[in-house]
Structure 1
Amino acid sequence: MAPFEAFYWRRCRGPICGDDSAEIVVLGPRMVQDMVDQVKLIRQKMNAVAYRLALLPALDRVHNVFHVSLLWRYVNDPSHVLEVVNIKLDEYLSYLEVPKEILDRKVRKTGTGETVLLKVLWSNHNVEEATWEAEEAMKERYPILFYQIVYVG
């Protein structure tokens, strides 16, 4: 019996499986009961390898049950160790994110003109986590980032 058939109590009617209506077999009540018992056992075994996650309410759109076949074996790698960074949180458990530095600048040509993009390093983030932002939006939101102090001496 195929796993789909055992779990859903019906044959797969998809384009791959086809319909084997010619394979009708008359079974006695004892054989039917044995088959029902076997299907129950198969269902129990299939449910035994499924995991239910305890998710945050913010993740209510994510399905909380998955099968172990979706898991990959973890390969130990020392570079996976994360550094603990203390971030000051306010009473709403959030923090202010401000740009620290402009790392790069590039011009992207579009159908209507050109857009200037800046690679911005944000506070509380590493260089690898820098993001590309539109220059106009950054000048509007963070004008102090574009002022340079020049000392004449």
Structure 2
Amino acid sequence: MDPFKALYCRRCRSLVWWFEVAESSPLGPKIVCEALENVCVIRHRLKISYSRQKSYANNMRGDLEFHVGDMVYLKISPIKGVMRFGKKGKLSPRYVGLFEVLQRVIKVAYELTLVSELSSIHPIFHISMLKKGISDPISILPIEGLGVDEIFYYDEVAVEILDRHVKKLRNKEVSSVKVL
């Protein structure tokens, strides 16, 4: 239903054909009352649809809040294509940690206790860069073993060759080596 028909219960026509020939009073209290009632119905329905959509949108959103002493993970690669901490692309770790929350600076910023390897980074982070820590020690990714220096570079060192594989194509052979 178009908005004009919802308000006035009839199609929108040009002013020449607005009223029938026999009608003498185009405006009256009856038409005004009907229009006001229709406006109230439309507002009520819009409010219902707005609240329904709001409940759908807010279903996955929640207020994240940390307290002093909580353990949190720190997001180290905000962009997926950035190469950080030893692995490229999809396999790069998104979070490192666990770090303890020292204090709440403002509503959306927290100060963390960082290890000496990350001493060059400012210790205050936005809440979007933090993730609530779990107390499972197996899932903790240690920063010490990553071999990252003060400007966040690392050296890849081959330990041993695990497997060799030669794939034969039509005109050539491609050899693959799996290295630890």
TM-score (norm 1): 0.41
Asked which structure has the greater CA Rg, the reply is 2
Greater RCO (CA < 8 Å, at least 6 residues apart)? 2
